[in-house]
């Protein structure tokens, strides 16, 4: 009896197509793993969307997120934010340029930090002054202050500048003309203030104060900590209408009205 002939097998797909399918499956698994391991910051996404909406005038009277020194995020009303934000960006760029010029980036660094009321520029005392002195002699620092004065002139008139001098706990030194850190910190703050006035800052928008060694940023035990504490800070903050009303209703006014 003759054997039956086996039917012809159906033609299979090309071998390369199977390898290609395996590769696509592995890539899909890879991207799924990447997505599962990543985390999205909802606050940052919300902040970015709010900034875009405000810039494009999609929303009126929206909110803006400001970041404090502790990086805590809070929502505050928007009022002339575009000018202020642009000014902060220019200040940061000016600080970066100055840091690059100072000993080719190896000297004391100027820092800019956002604050709840505005922002703060921190100038190391060694960049501005010699030990125990309140005379600005660094040309790079003077050029930086000139750039800051130009930026201040473009800020809203309600933006105030407070120049605050700080020292370590070592004292001015025997060769200094200042008898204590109160005089030294105040003189350094006034020296920076006077330079800004010469560069065109409105005297009504600026003030100066000395805090001696009583508001340190770091320990005074080490030299690095003392160097960080010797500084001059430029605090930029908005003057609120409520503050003006409180100033009008001072304690003396209440006493004289009785």
Q: Is 191 helix (H, G, I), strand (E, B) or coil?
A: helix
pLDDT in tens, 77-109: 334 455 667 878 888 898 898 888 876 657 789
What is the per-residue pLDDT across 150-186, written as a single tens digit (0 to 9) for each? Answer: 999 888 888 999 999 999 999 998 889 999 999 999 9
The three-state secondary structure class of 235 is: strand
CATH superfamily of 62-245: OmpA-like domain (3.30.1330.60)
At residue 85, the pLDDT reads 77
Q: Report whether 99 contacts 219 (CB < 8 A).
A: no
Rounded to the nearest angstrom, the gap between the alpha carbon of residue 21 and the centroid of all alpha carbons in its chain is 51
Beta-strand runs (E) in the chain: 63-67, 73-77, 111-114, 118-124, 159-166, 206-210, 231-238
With beta carbons less than 8 A apart as the criterion, state whether 40 and 90 touch. Answer: no
73 falls in which pLDDT band (50, 70, 90)?
very low
Taking only the tens place, the pLDDT of each residue in 6-64 is 666 666 667 777 788 888 888 888 888 887 776 655 555 566 666 555 555 544 444 44
Q: What is the pLDDT of residue 250?
A: 57
- Which pLDDT does position 18 carry in this prediction? 77
Count of alpha carbons within 13 angstroms of residue 4, beta-carbon side: 3
Strands 73-77 and 159-166: unpaired
The pLDDT-based confidence of 118 (bands split at 50, 70, 90) is: confident
- Report the distance separating Cα 207 and Cα 203, nearest Å: 8
Q: What pLDDT is stored for residue 199 in this prediction?
A: 95
């Amino acid at each position: 009896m003759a054997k039956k002939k086996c039917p012809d097998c159906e033609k299979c797909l090309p071998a390369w197509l199977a390898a290609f399918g395996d590769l696509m499956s592995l890539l899909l698994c890879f991207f799924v793993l990447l997505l599962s391991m990543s985390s999205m910051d909802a606050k940052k996404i919300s902040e970015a969307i709010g900034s875009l909406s405000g810039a494009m005038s999609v929303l009126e009277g929206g909110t803006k997120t400001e970041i404090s020194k502790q990086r805590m995020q809070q929502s505050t009303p928007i009022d002339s934010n575009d000018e202020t934000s642009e000014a902060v960006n220019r200040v940061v760029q000016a600080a970066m340029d100055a840091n690059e010029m100072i000993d080719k980036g190896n000297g004391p660094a100027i820092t800019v930090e956002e604050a709840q009321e505005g922002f703060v520029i921190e100038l190391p005392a060694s960049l501005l002054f010699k030990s125990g002195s309140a005379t600005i002699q660094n040309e790079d620092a003077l050029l930086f202050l000139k750039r800051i004065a130009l930026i201040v002139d473009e800020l809203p008139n309600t933006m105030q500048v407070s120049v605050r001098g700080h020292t370590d706990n070592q004292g001015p030194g025997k060769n200094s003309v200042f008898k204590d850190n109160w005089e030294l910190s105040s003189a350094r703050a006034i020296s920076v203030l006077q330079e800004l006035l010469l560069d065109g800052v409105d005297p009504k928008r600026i003030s100066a104060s000395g805090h001696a060694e009583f508001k340190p940023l770091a320990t005074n035990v080490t030299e690095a900590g003392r160097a960080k504490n010797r500084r001059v800070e430029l605090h930029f903050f908005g003057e609120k209408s409520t503050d003006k009303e409180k100033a009008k209703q001072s304690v003396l006014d209440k006493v004289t009205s009785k």
